[in-house]
Chains A and B, each alone.
Chain A
Amino acid sequence: MPRSRSRLCRTTLLFVAIGAVAWANVENARPGGARNIAIPGFGEDGLRIWEMRASQAIPLADGIVDAKDLVLTTFSGPKVETVLKSPNARFRTEDGNATSDSLIHVSGPGYEISGKGWEWDANRSRIQIKANVKAVFNEEFDDLF
């Protein structure tokens, strides 16, 4: 009797899990795209070098994703290198780059940079900010001469 009860429990759990996954897929297939997604990018050595998180991601053709409330984290080994935040961006997952005309805020170890309009290229580890740049360094550049 306890065995059959345990089986019944497992079977019920399995159906619940399948149901949850199916419901999530239906949600993500809606025109609004997927919600609260995370896409990692890996280097040649197999280590994670970046991770893109967004509150909403609408997939377009050829691996292009329009992301909202983007948080892009780049890594150097196990360490966080930079955290880039922007309200909107067009992300090319296959090429590992993103562009946006929206505001951007980049924080790294010892500095913060903000501006408007940006491009990110994972292959070159490069962030370009197109306008209204303001950077704050936690270091004094004084005492030059």
Chain B
Amino acid sequence: MRLLITRLIVIQFAANLSAAEENATQPTTIESDTAELVTTKAGHRFYFAGKVVVVGTDLLLKCDELEILSQRESNSSKSSAKVGKISLMIARGNVSIKQMGSRGSGDKAIMQAATGVFTLLGSPAVLIDERGKLEGNEIVFERGKGRAELRGGAGNRPRVELPALPTLPNFGRGSKKKKSIQEKRKP
């Protein structure tokens, strides 16, 4: 009985530990050829250029240039404050993004953290996931609202490809009727 209780406690502890590990924030790494860091009164500006690769928990972003702006935390009284939340992220040139089951590509991607709006621009900007394929000059996502807006440009109409629809049931209408009409018309 004691052995059983001990085993249960150990299993519970292991479950809690793995849950805590899953919830922990994983760092994001960025590799590039060159970088520039500018600090201002407003915050920090990071600029990465040349074969930029961003690897996160569920993110793989590749581009030619990446600019990240973070706002300074105003209410921090510590001697070494944490960098403010990332407020704006702009990826430029040969942008390719893989996130969970989605992948997108374009010329430019803009992420505005405050509004939760993510914009993918290109000629064309393409996004593919299990729900289908979006193609246009501008794809705008509003995070949290589950809403995406697809905009085309001059001479480039937006295009949406949905997965194949399930086969509709055949009620036997139409085909026989057509046949009989065709037979009547025959001399």
Contact = CB atoms under 8 A, between A and B. Distances in A.
A134 B59 contact: no
A129 B32 CA distance: 10
B111 to A, nearest CB: 6
Contact of B33 (A111, A133, A143, A145): A133
Contacts of A108: 37, 44, 83
A140 B48 contact: no
Contacts of B83: 108-111
A134 B30 contact: yes
A145 B143 contact: yes
Contacts of B63: none
A126 B55 CA distance: 25
B28 A78 contact: no
Nearest to B47: A128
Contact of B111 (A110, A131, A132, A144): A144
A79 interface: yes
A136 B29 contact: yes
B182 interface: no
B162 interface: no
Interface residues of A, number: 36
B150 interface: no
Given A131-B33, A133-B31, A134-B31, A141 B54 contact: yes
A79 B111 contact: no
Interface in B79-111: 79-83, 85-86, 89, 97, 99, 102, 104, 109, 111
B27 A129 contact: no
B27 A141 contact: no
A76 interface: yes
A143 to B, nearest CB: 7
B25 A129 contact: no
B34 interface: yes
A23 B28 CA distance: 51
Interface in B17-65: 25-40, 44, 46, 48, 54, 56-59, 61
A125 B38 contact: yes
Contact of B80 (A79, A133, A144): A79
Q: Which among A79, A130, A136 has the highest number of chain B CB atoms within 10 Å? A: A79
B37 A140 contact: no
B36 A127 contact: yes
Interface of B: 25-40, 44, 46, 48, 54, 56-59, 61, 72, 78-83, 85-86, 89, 97, 99, 102, 104, 109, 111, 118, 120, 127, 141, 143, 148
25 contacts: A74-B39, A78-B79, A79-B78, A108-B83, A111-B46, A115-B34, A124-B38, A126-B37, A127-B36, A128-B35, A130-B34, A131-B34, A132-B33, A135-B32, A136-B27, A137-B86, A138-B25, A140-B25, A140-B26, A140-B57, A142-B57, A144-B99, A144-B141, A145-B104, A145-B120
